[in-house]
Structure 1
Amino acid sequence: MNRMTVALDLPAGLTARPLIPSDAPAVTAVMAAQELADVGEVVIEEADIIADWQRPGYDVSAGTVGVCDDDRLVAYAEVAYGDRGDAAVHPDYRGRGLGTWLAGWMQQKAREKGCTVIGMPVPQGSPGDRLLESLGYRVRWTSWVLQLPEGAVIPDRPLPAGFAVRAATEADWEAAFTVNEDAFLEWSQRERDTFEIWQSQVVRRPGFEPWHLRVVTDPGGEVVAMALLQLHDDQGYLARLATRADQRGRGLAQALLVDTFAEARQHGATRFEVSTDSRTGALSLYEKVGMRVTSAWVNRAIDV
């Protein structure tokens, strides 16, 4: 077992405390500053933090820690559920041992929860990536953020006869959840989410509007593919894309891409992003329709 022991002593002058839901803006600011320094753009949104923290059964204070300089939050970490964690250090506070302290805290918290491994995403080649590698963390998978170049259009892909693409209604939500969860569990090693958990992160996420959730239906009206858009200012982000296993290879995913980005354009989006990882095998789909990789991330983990 590759296991690390870290003395949990904070650098002088800094204090630590559990976080509460109202800390979401401060956590977002720390993560945004780190992303801007490491990949040149901000990917995180406050709505992402809120959606994660409102997951049914998740106790924010029990799963998080914030490091403060007086009243300013300068670093944070959490062990959310399963073997998933996350952490960030404001660039102004790098080089003081905070990353190592957070890694030790996360490992200790994971052991307390009965986990045997803990992992987190970091930009490939970033200070965080190099730190975790030096601490013995292994790479589990690689993720990529892709953008559609300005002015580019994804080639249209007509749907098979009898199929249709449209905005989901509330009556479609559970079917969309099933298609989403079934597809993601083909490669994700975790327990199956409940419909209530899915709702907390999709339709109850701050800023959600009904047109953000798109579905493809078959000739019988059954939902066989789904996509979820998140819109922030002028950027549309494809957060989820899934097709039922028996309907793949028919162009449904590409049709959803065309539809979703077209809807986003009508609502003011001029930039479009998507992320995928090496477990899904979907990278080539996005590259074939003209999207280009803008940053790469690795999920590093360690046994605890």
Structure 2
Amino acid sequence: MSALDLPDGLTFRVLTMDDARAVYDLAAAQEQHDIGKVEIEPADIVSDWSRPSWDVATHTIGVFDGDMLVGYGEVTGHDRGDAAVHPTYRRRGIGTAIAGWMRKAVEDLGGTGYGSPVPEGSAGDRLLDKLGYRVRWTSWVLDLPAGTEIAHRDLPEGYAIREARPEEYPAVQDVIEDAFLEWSVRERESYDDFHASVIGRPGFEPWHLRVVTDPEDTIVGCALVIMAGEDADEAYIERLAVRKDQRHRGLAQALLVDAFARGREHGATRSSLSTDSRTGALSLYQKVGMEVGDVWVNRAIGV
């Protein structure tokens, strides 16, 4: 492992699964400072780190002041990473050191570079800009305003929306991957990784996977709902996909209506999702009444 050039008194080491909660606390502190709220969930860390393709021993670095985690970086995919520095430890070179480690880690894993998501205009955004990272794409978090409902869309004759059955989970992943790989340049996600990060995610319930089926009961679209927030009061659509040959039939809008309705049945008082500039879907969500909240940019170098 490469050494980090850190201020006196700070140490670094690879992380372990036992550090997952500390990573969440650190990332939450950064989000609270940068965007005024916490969007990350403890389950996000645990589910990502549980993927068979991911190795905590080679994909992470932690910076400590005594026993306190004050900075961390992780390589989450072949060209993506995440990092955080506690707000009270900024402007000491910790973020720069972690960024250097992440780039070297990606190269050691066979990559040429990586990108990281940061809130637009945040300290992390400014640092990566200074280090030469370009904006690769922009992401928007959209919310459905209180009291607003997405207009109902009738499904084509013979189509239906329901909960996915366990034996259908591989088919669900196929629909998601086929759709996402139309605009995402990466390797196809393995089913084992999908199962670990979705089905194995702490708090997962079968109703979270909503599917739309054609007259032959074949899955042609799906939505993954996560009950987010400390009180699990936000229905967040983490993934939404419709098979290419089944688009422009109102299936995505019908899935949105269904997913948010199921969320409300389970206690959600808020409804949200995110999209980015690669998908071209922003206007679709705005047309059904959703409003842009937080804006993130993915800054990249070497890719």
Normalised by the length of structure 2, the TM-score is 0.96
Contact 2:6 2:94 in 1 (8 A): yes
TM alignment of 1:219-258, pairs within 5 A: 219-232=215-228, 233-258=232-257
2:172 — aligned with what?
176
Contact 2:163 2:210 in 1 (8 A): yes
Contact 2:159 2:212 in 1 (8 A): yes
Is the counterpart of residue 45 in structure 1 residue 41 in structure 2? yes
2:264 — aligned with what?
265
Aligned letter for 2:247?
Answer: R
- Determine which of 114, 129, 133 is the counterpart of 1:133: 129
Distance in structure 1 (CA, Å) of the matches to 2:42 and 2:23: 8
How far has the Cα of 1:7 moved from its partner?
8.5
Distance in structure 2 (CA, Å) of the matches to 1:154 and 1:288: 9
TM alignment of 1:93-104, pairs within 5 A: 93-104=89-100
Distance in structure 2 (CA, Å) of the matches to 1:40 and 1:158: 38
Distance in structure 2 (CA, Å) of the matches to 1:160 and 1:111: 49
Aligned letter for 1:238?
Answer: I
1:73 — aligned with what?
69
Distance in structure 1 (CA, Å) of the matches to 2:300 and 2:143: 27
How far has the Cα of 1:8 moved from its partner?
3.2
Contact 2:4 2:12 in 1 (8 A): no
Contact 1:7 1:104 in 2 (8 A): no
Distance in structure 2 (CA, Å) of the matches to 1:171 and 1:109: 37
How far has the Cα of 1:81 moved from its partner?
2.4
Give the % identical residues. Answer: 60
TM alignment of 1:1-304, pairs within 5 A: 8-232=4-228, 233-303=232-302
How far has the Cα of 1:242 moved from its partner?
0.1
Distance in structure 1 (CA, Å) of the matches to 2:233 and 2:194: 25
Aligned letter for 2:261?
Answer: A
Deviations 1:103-154 (A, max 9, x none): 1111111122121111110011111001100000011111011111112111
- Report the secondary structure of 1:80's partner residue: strand
- Report the secondary structure of 2:107's partner residue: helix
Unpaired segments of 5 or more residues in structure 1? Answer: 1-5
Normalised by the length of structure 1, the TM-score is 0.96
Distance in structure 2 (CA, Å) of the matches to 1:132 and 1:295: 19
Distance in structure 2 (CA, Å) of the matches to 1:113 and 1:177: 26
